[in-house]
Amino acid sequence: MEAEALADAQRSTRNFKRFLYILMFFVIPIFYAFETTVHWSELTVCMKREAFFLSIFFFYLRYGNPANPGFLFDLLQILLIVWIIQQMNIANLQEDPKCLETGDSLYLYSTEFLFQMILWVCTVMSICVLIMLVGLIIFGIMEAYIYRPRRRRRQGLSTQEFSRLKKVEFRKEDIGENSNLDTCSICLEEFVEKQTVIQMPGCRHNFHEGCVKGWLEYHSICPNCRSDLREQFTSQQRPQQHENPEANGSTISVRVED
Ligand SMILES: [Zn+2]
Ligand SMILES: [Zn+2]
């Protein structure tokens, strides 16, 4: 259970990192490139210069990475991008004498545009993060209460169910002329006389315990003829209860199979 919870947490972290990557390296750069291209003629010289360096920086982050440097490095990248956006702040631009020289109304308009852009990106980012958080919570609840129980039901036999399988001594005379029953169809080895084997209920196919155990951890059907073992268990249970009249007096708990 703890291993499962850990795996879930790791998966959530991985998804969150993937989302951040898409946001940082696809959504924002594409939006940035689009806006810069559309408003290129309205940009001042120093904004064009910053746009150029920012593009190179994005390109480096996306393609110039050493192999998988880990989450701390990602965090560093995000902080760097935040720092760069702060560097593009209006106050900084207005203090830059070069920008003021090229300035006037066009300059004010472009700084206004820049401010609007940063505002827009921040709004979009926070909306995305909000939607993702709500999604994570909803999917987490669905995973825990709907999907996982349903999946578990389809999984193999429990140890309790496994112990209900019959262990029999293999005898050649019992199988008679049916020659394909003297072989374990998993390892394809012939059974030795008086060897202990696991017999499937209903179809009576025999297997070595070691061979079939691994299969039944993940499946609840006979590996040879695919008959459902749980169905066999329940159909075996019913006639036994009818045959046993003493069962009426004492309390007997009946396992309910789904
Ligand atoms: Zn075998
Ligand atoms: Zn079978």
The CATH number of the domain holding residue 221 is 3.30.40.10
> Is residue 107 domain-shared with residue 34, that is, in the same domain?
yes
What is the Cα–Cα distance from 185 to 172, expressed in whole angstroms? 16
> Is residue 135 domain-shared with residue 167, that is, in the same domain?
no
How many domains does the chain fold into?
Answer: 2
Dihedral over alpha carbons 34, 36, 40, 44 (to 10 degrees): 170
For residue 191 the two structure tokens come to: 């059974």
Of residues 170, 142, 156, the one with CA closest to residue 217? 156
Which of 92, 126, 153 delimits the end of a domain? Answer: 153
> Is residue 175 domain-shared with residue 125, that is, in the same domain?
no
Angle at 60 between CA 56 and CA 64, to 5 degrees: 150
Q: Ligand 2 center to residue 54 CA distance, Å?
A: 66
> Is residue 139 domain-shared with residue 182, that is, in the same domain?
no
Q: Which domain holds residue 133?
A: 2-153
In this structure, which ligand is nearest to the CA of 183? Answer: 1
β-strand pairing of 196-199 with 166-169: antiparallel
Which of 88, 123, 153 delimits the end of a domain? Answer: 153
36, part of any domain: yes
Q: Are 156 and 220 in contact (CB under 8 A)?
A: yes
Residue 227 predicted with pLDDT over 70: yes
> Is residue 206 domain-shared with residue 120, that is, in the same domain?
no
> Is residue 56 domain-shared with residue 183, that is, in the same domain?
no
What is the Cα–Cα distance from 40 to 86, expressed in whole angstroms? 21
239-251 residue pLDDT tens = 554 444 444 444 4
184: amino acid identity, one letter: C
97, part of any domain: yes
Q: Ligand 1 center to residue 119 CA distance, Å?
A: 67
> Is residue 218 domain-shared with residue 143, that is, in the same domain?
no
In this structure, which ligand is nearest to the CA of 215? Answer: 1
What is the Cα–Cα distance from 26 to 30, expressed in whole angstroms? 6
> Is residue 82 domain-shared with residue 6, that is, in the same domain?
yes
Q: Are 20 and 78 in contact (CB under 8 A)?
A: yes
> Is residue 40 domain-shared with residue 98, that is, in the same domain?
yes
> Is residue 149 domain-shared with residue 209, that is, in the same domain?
no
Q: Find which of 7-21, 54-68, 70-84, 122-136 is predicted with most confidence, using mean pLDDT.
A: 122-136
> Is residue 149 domain-shared with residue 235, that is, in the same domain?
no
Stated as kind and residue range, the H or E segment containing 131 is: helix 104-142
Which of 112, 138, 153 delimits the end of a domain? Answer: 153
- Whether the model clears a pTM of 0.85, i.e. scores above it, the answer is no
191: exposed, middle or buried (C-beta count within 10 Å: 0-12, 13-18, 19+)?
buried
- 16: which residues sit within 8 A by CB, 6+ positions away? 132, 136
161-213 residue pLDDT tens = 888 898 999 888 877 776 678 889 999 998 898 899 999 988 888 999 999 99
Q: Ligand 2 center to residue 173 CA distance, Å?
A: 19
244, part of any domain: no
β-strand pairing of 166-169 with 206-207: unpaired
Q: Ligand 2 center to residue 224 CA distance, Å?
A: 5
116, part of any domain: yes
100, part of any domain: yes
Of residues 123, 137, 130, 158, the one with CA closest to residue 258? 158
> Is residue 35 domain-shared with residue 136, that is, in the same domain?
yes
Q: Ligand 2 center to residue 221 CA distance, Å?
A: 8
What is the Cα–Cα distance from 206 to 14, expressed in whole angstroms? 44
